[in-house]
A and B are shown apart, each in its own frame.
Chain A
Amino acid sequence: MSTFKAVILVGGPSRATRFRPLSLDVPKPLFPVAGAPVVSHHLRALSKVDGLKEVLIIGFFEDNVFSRFVDDAATEFPNLHIRYLREYQELGTAGGLYHFRDEILRGNPQQFFVIHVDIASAFPLNEMVEAHMKHRGLCTMLGTKVPREQATKYGCLVAKPSTNEVLHYVEKPDSFISDLISCGVFLFDTAVFGEMKKAIDRKKDSTEENDYLWTPSDDKLRLEQDLLRPLSEQHKLYVHVTENFWRQIKTAGSSIPANAAYLELIKKESPEKLAQSKPEGPEIIGAVYIHPSAHVDPTAKIGPNVSIGPRVTVGKGVRIKDSIILDNVQLGTASCVLHSVIGWNSKIGKWTRVEGSPASDHNIDMMKNGVKSQSITILGKEVLVADEVIVRNCIVLPHKELKSSFHSEILM
């Protein structure tokens, strides 16, 4: 009998506009980071929770988007039963949970995890379980500290240090409240569905009272604003603070720090999955993932923090650092790829340099005063870059052919 279940909230196609141009060709949850789709890192962490047998992936992508992934995941995580449940419409983060409550409650689990897909984390789920069993609340949320000036971009919370009880929760506050933020990872008692029912009723009442303010979006139930806030007021919300890594995966460029963090984690947990330097080459620095079907010339130097996808060809004297190279990319002799994502089937010429700026810890805007901000360089699918040119601090949409150098531009 299983005590735990888990729900991964993956959202839908309209939610990933900030992940363009990569989301034009793959749904964000399936974008490969550190050699595996974003969502499979969640599954890997869930597979290590004792008594957790079923994971429901909830979103409003078409069913077929996830069918292949769910099949593959079944092989990789044989102890998990993984299903994709499609919302009939965008229901909001908690609306989907409530809608599928029967599926979640089937088999009478006592607790269930809810994890947003757009984060990268070490997922200390077992520690959360331990913390959860020590208090009488309905929910334990994972929290982390961020730099003070970044905090207002997230859900901020104030907790009582002695008990970890959440006293106050505000989603994206206007002014500084706390540098402790919600990570988007929750462990709920199943009794929380009662609170969700109350929240929905409250929303209906207030809708009737403010009829003239009614909008279709009020049909939705938002996990953070509509559920967590009342839970904290009822002293039923607790936080478990982690000092381990945590990143959002919002913009396409944020895949690079997430890739780096996951590669470091894999290096600690199962270094055999990563590439090793051999005397005959190639030279590998730090954590590097190379798919077995990729061909890497022995004169190449790769790493740290590089993921190389299936069927990639890395030519002579190629240098790659802090980058993701997607399926079937060809990198020409002596080319240099730094702080970049190279899209599927792209071709990089000889002595060509594709360079981004190191990603800062937290997301930054793509444009500032009409000038493209310094960030990761992203080449979409099937981009061809000529020999000897430099493409620096650019975002290149799919199927472009670049015959000359570009700096700080978005190339449509």
Chain B
Amino acid sequence: MKALILVGGFGTRLRPLTLTLPKPLVEFANKPMILHQIENLAKAGVKDIVLAVNYRPEIMVATLKQYEEEFGVTITFSVETEPLGTAGPLALARDILGKDDTPFFVLNSDIICDYPFEQLRDFHLGHGNEGTIVVTKVDDPSKYGVIVNQADSTRIERFVEKPKEFISNKINAGIYVLSPSVLDRIELKPTSIEKEVFPYIAQDGQLHTFDLEGFWMDVGQPKDFLTGTCLYLSHLSKKKPQELANPTLDYVHKGNVMVHPTAKIGKDCRIGPNVVIGPNVVIGDGVRLQRCVVLQGAKVKDYAWVQSSIIGWHSSVGRWSRLEGCSVLGDDVTINDEIYVNGGSILPHKGISNNITEPQIIM
């Protein structure tokens, strides 16, 4: 089997983190985002992975080389010279995706979920039609394009963009399995797969839905990155509790805390729920962390208080500082002692010595 991962461009929605690393390499739960996907694809028997990118950061090439060996896959970069939308990249990668009769996966690089690739493959082969779209249920379907099935069938009847009245709460989860014949429907030009390809396959009765079990989140921006982290940690607590910190540890507060083995935690801390602490992080004494992500090499000094924030690589949070309101520190940011930051998005290599009381970007 083969897979195409739609990576796209500069990851502007996840800045300031993506000023330092391309989005697929930003760690989600202590693992580069794309690694979550590669691991699961490899498990489902995928051998060829194509990354559809707008540009080709060298750092990504180097990192992905390691994964090729580790997971026994071939990873190819398919670089668009102009933005090709969500369908154009399929045409561009036709040589790999269409090289044999097996279906291929297509996924959006921002999606974190309990990837059901094996079941999805079996389901797709089972119905024998051209395409399968993974759908997830949302509380507020009016913000999304929803999918309406034929009565008592997985077959898709139609798509309705941002419905005003409730017709379905199933939305496109951004993960597909397609048969190579779909490639004949796509031209090499900017095209939207959702709007210009799927409706026609559905018309032909060739498109099915696959219900996603469990959590799903588009983690392309900081607020959702944190929400996705919460969902992922609670998923782990059910499926692989051994990956989380032991809830009986004295610093773990209300469970669901992930601490990298190389991280150091001080005395009298209260950490959790929903905290991820990365490699070589140093947490001082009496620190309170909740609903936050501390990336590799960062330092949170004594008696600091951090909530709903992302602390970038090698950043430092001063003693008695308070971070909240979806603050995001880029790489190597220093927050001085006793500083209050509410909703600050702080670009790399900045030092902060005055309070940031209202959400703002610090250039």
- Beta-carbon contact of B305 and A333 below 8 Å: no
Partner of B305, one of A316, A351, A392, A407: A351
**CB of A286, distance to nearest CB on chain B (Å):** 14
- List chain B residues, Cβ under 8 A from A407: 357
A91 within 8 A of B: no
Q: Chain B residue with minimal CB distance to A333?
A: B286
Q: Judging by beta carbons under 8 Å apart, are B319 and A319 in contact?
A: yes
Look across to chain A and name the residue whose beta carbon is closest to the beta carbon of B358. A407
Known: A316-B286, A317-B302, A351-B288. A333 touches B340 (CB 8 A): no
> Is the beta-carbon distance between A319 and B340 smaller than 8 angstroms?
no
A226-270 near B? 1/0 per residue, CB < 8 Å:
000000000000000000000000000000000000000000000
Q: Which residues of B contact A334 (CB under 8 A)?
A: 286, 288, 303, 305, 320
* Residue numbers in A under 8 Å from B302 (CB-CB): 317
A336 touches B322 (CB 8 A): yes
Q: Which residues of B have CB within 8 Å of A390? A: 322, 324, 340
Contact with A along B217-254 (1 / 0, CB 8 A): 00000000000000000000000000000000000000
Are A388 and B288 interface neighbours, CB within 8 A?
A: yes
Interface residues of A in 291-319 (CB under 8 A from B): 299, 301, 316-317, 319
The verdict on A321 contacting chain B, using a C-beta distance below 8 Å, is: yes
Bound state CA distance, A392 and B322, in angstroms? 12
Count of A-B residue pairs with CB < 8 Å: 47
Q: Cβ of A392 and Cβ of B303 under 8 Å apart?
A: no
Residue B268 CB within 8 A of the other chain: yes
User: Considering the chains assembled together, what is the distance between the CA atoms of A390 and B339 in angstroms?
Assistant: 12
Report the minimal beta-carbon distance from B309 to chain A, rounded to whole angstroms.
14
CA distance A316 to B270 in the complex (A): 14
CA distance A407 to B322 in the complex (A): 14
- CB of B254, distance to nearest CB on chain A (Å): 13
B305: A residues at CB distance < 8 A: 334, 351, 353, 388
Answer yes or no: B285 CB below 8 A from chain A CBs.
yes
Residues of A within 8 A of B355 (CB): 355
Please tell me if the beta carbons of B288 and A317 are within 8 angstroms of each other in the complex: no
Scan residues 302-351 of chain B and give those whose CB is less than 8 A from a CB of chain A. 302-303, 305, 307, 319-320, 322, 324, 338, 340
CB distance from A350 to the nearest CB of B (A): 8
- Tell me the bound Cα distance from A319 to B302 in angstroms: 11
The answer, among B319, B338, B340, for a CB contact under 8 Å with A392, is: B340
Nearest CB of chain A from residue B267's CB, rounded to whole Å: 10
Which residues of chain A from 301 to 347 have any CB-CB distance to chain B below 8 Å in the complex?
301, 316-317, 319, 321, 333-334, 336, 338
B166-189 interface bits toward A, Cβ cutoff 8 Å, 1 = contact, 0 = none: 000000000000000000000000
Find out whether the CB atom of A319 lies under 8 angstroms from the CB atom of B268. no
Cβ-defined contact, A353 with B303, below 8 A: no
- A321 CA / B340 CA spacing, docked (Å): 14
A353 and B286 contact, Cβ closer than 8 Å, known pairs A317-B302, A334-B305, A336-B303? no
Contacts of B322 in A (CB 8 A): 336, 353, 390
The residue from B268, B319, B340 contacting A316, defined by CB atoms under 8 A apart: B268
Cβ of A371 to closest chain B Cβ, rounded Å: 13
A316, B269: Cα distance in complex, Å: 12
Q: Which of B268, B285, B338, B357 contacts A336 (CB 8 A)?
A: B338
Question: In the complex, what residue of chain B is closest to A405 when comparing beta carbons?
Answer: B324
Asked if B338 and A338 sit within 8 Å, CB to CB, the answer is yes
Interface pair A333/B320, CB less than 8 Å apart = no
For A301, the chain B residues whose CB sits under 8 A away are 319
> Is the pair B286, A336 in contact by a Cβ cutoff of 8 Å?
no
Contact A319 B338 (CB under 8 A): yes
Contact B268 A333 (CB under 8 A): yes
Task: Assess whether B320 is in contact with A336, with CB atoms less than 8 Å apart.
Answer: yes
Encode contact with B along A376-412: 1 for CB under 8 Å, 0 otherwise: 0000000000001010100000000000000100000
Residues of chain B within 8 A (CB-CB) of A351 are: 270, 288, 303, 305
Complex CA gap A264/B268 in Å reads: 35
A351 to B287, CA, bound (A): 9
Write the chain A residue with the least CB distance to B288.
A351
Q: Are A319 and B286 in contact (CB under 8 A)?
A: no
Which of A319, A334, A350, A390 counts the most chain B CB atoms within 10 A? A334
Residues of A within 8 A of B338 (CB): 319, 321, 336, 338
- Give chain A interface residues in 179-233, CB to chain B under 8 Å: none
Residues on A with C-beta less than 8 A from B268 are 316-317, 333
Kindly identify, within residues 29 to 82 of chain A, every residue whose CB is under 8 Å from any CB belonging to chain B: none
Complex contacts, A321 vs chain B, CB 8 Å: 338
A173 to B224, CA, bound (A): 58
Cα separation A412 to B133 with both chains bound (whole Å) = 56
CA distance A228 to B305 in the complex (A): 56
Q: Which residues of A contact B285 (CB under 8 A)?
A: 299, 317
**How far apart are the CA atoms of A321 and B305 in the complex, in Å?**
18
Contacts of B288 in A (CB 8 A): 334, 350-351, 388
Q: A355, B286: Cβ atoms under 8 Å? A: no
Which residues from B are CB-within-8-Å of A319?
303, 319-320, 338
Q: Which residue of B lies closest to A300 (CB)?
A: B303
Take A316-B268, A336-B303 as given contacts and tell me if A392 and B286 are in contact as well, using a CB distance cutoff of 8 Å. no
Report chain A residues within 8 Å CB of B324. Answer: 390
- Considering the complex, give the chain B residue whose CB is closest to the CB of A355: B340
Question: With A and B bound together, what is the CA distance between A199 and B247 in angstroms?
Answer: 81
Closest to A408 in B: B357
Residues 183 to 218 of chain B near chain A (Cβ within 8 Å): none
With contacts A319-B303, A336-B303, A388-B305 known, what are 12 further pairs, Cβ within 8 A? A316-B286, A317-B302, A317-B303, A321-B338, A333-B286, A334-B320, A336-B322, A351-B303, A353-B305, A353-B340, A355-B340, A407-B357
- 14 residue pairs of the A-B complex, CB under 8 angstroms, read A299-B285, A317-B268, A319-B303, A319-B319, A319-B338, A321-B338, A334-B288, A334-B305, A351-B270, A351-B303, A355-B340, A390-B324, A390-B340, A392-B340
The 3 closest A-B pairs by CB, nearest first: A334-B303, A317-B286, A336-B320
